[in-house]
Structure 1
Amino acid sequence: MIEALEAIVADPAGAVVGLDFDGTLAPIVPDPESARIHPAGPEALARLGGLVGSLVVITGRPAATAVEYGSLAGVPGLVVLGHYGLERWEGGELSSPPPHPGLITVRAELPTLVAGIAGVGIEDKGRAVAVHTRRTASPQAAFDALAGPVAELAAETGLAVEPGKFVLELRPPGTDKGVALGDFLRERSARSVLFAGDDLGDLAAFEAVRTCGLPGVTVFSGSAELSVEADIVVDGPAGVVELLGSISDAIAARRP
Structure 2
Amino acid sequence: MTLLNPTTETGRTALDRIREAPDRALLAFDFDGTLAPIVPDPRDSRAHPGAVPALRALADRVRAVAVVTGRPAAVAVEYGGLDAVPGITVLGQYGRERWADGVLTVPEPPPGVAAVREALPGLLERVGAPDGTWIEDKHHALAVHTRRTADPEAALDLLRAPLAELAEQTGLAVEPGRMVIELRPPGVDKGAALTGLVAETGAQAVLYAGDDLGDLAAYDAVEQLHEQGVAGFKLCSGSAEVTELAKRADLVVDGPSGVVAFLEELGAALGG
User: TM tier, shorter chain?
Assistant: over 0.9
Aligned twin of 1:160: 173
Deviations 1:128-171 (A, max 9, x none): 11000111111111101101100111111111110001111111
Question: Residue 246 of structure 1 aligns to a residue in which SS?
Answer: helix
Aligned twin of 2:233: 217
Cα distance between partner residues in 1 of 2:124 and 2:217: 28
Structure 2 residue runs of 5 or longer lacking an equivalent are 1-10
Q: CA deviation at 1:122?
A: 0.3
Aligned twin of 1:37: 47
**Where do 1:1-80 residues align within 5 Å?**
1-80=11-90
Which residue of 240, 244, 248 maps to 2:263? 244
Question: Residue 38 of structure 1 aligns to a residue in which SS?
Answer: coil
Q: What is the TM-score with the length of structure 1 in the denominator?
A: 0.97
Q: CA deviation at 1:251?
A: 0.9
Question: Residue 56 of structure 1 aligns to a residue in which SS?
Answer: strand
Aligned twin of 1:93: 103
Q: How many residues align?
A: 253
Question: Residue 262 of structure 2 aligns to a residue in which SS?
Answer: helix
What amino acid sits opposite 1:82 in the alignment? G
Q: CA deviation at 1:223?
A: 3.2
Aligned twin of 2:252: 233
Which residue of 215, 229, 237 maps to 1:202? 215
Cα distance between partner residues in 1 of 2:159 and 2:239: 25
Which residue of 188, 206, 209 maps to 2:201? 188
Q: CA deviation at 1:77?
A: 1.0
Question: Residue 220 of structure 2 aligns to a residue in which SS?
Answer: helix
Q: What is the TM-score with the length of structure 2 in the denominator?
A: 0.91
Structure 1 residue runs of 5 or longer lacking an equivalent are none
Cα distance between partner residues in 2 of 1:223 and 1:107: 31
Which residue of 143, 149, 174 maps to 1:136? 149
Cα distance between partner residues in 2 of 1:2 and 1:123: 39
Moved more, 181-190 or 220-229: 220-229
Q: CA deviation at 1:42?
A: 1.1
Moved more, 210-219 or 75-84: 210-219
Moved more, 12-21 or 114-123: 114-123
Aligned twin of 2:158: 145
Question: Residue 187 of structure 2 aligns to a residue in which SS?
Answer: coil
After TM superposition, what 4+ stretches of structure 1 lie above 4 angstroms from structure 2?
none
What amino acid sits opposite 1:238 in the alignment? S
Cα distance between partner residues in 1 of 2:44 and 2:86: 25
Cα distance between partner residues in 2 of 1:101 and 1:168: 19
Question: Residue 195 of structure 1 aligns to a residue in which SS?
Answer: strand
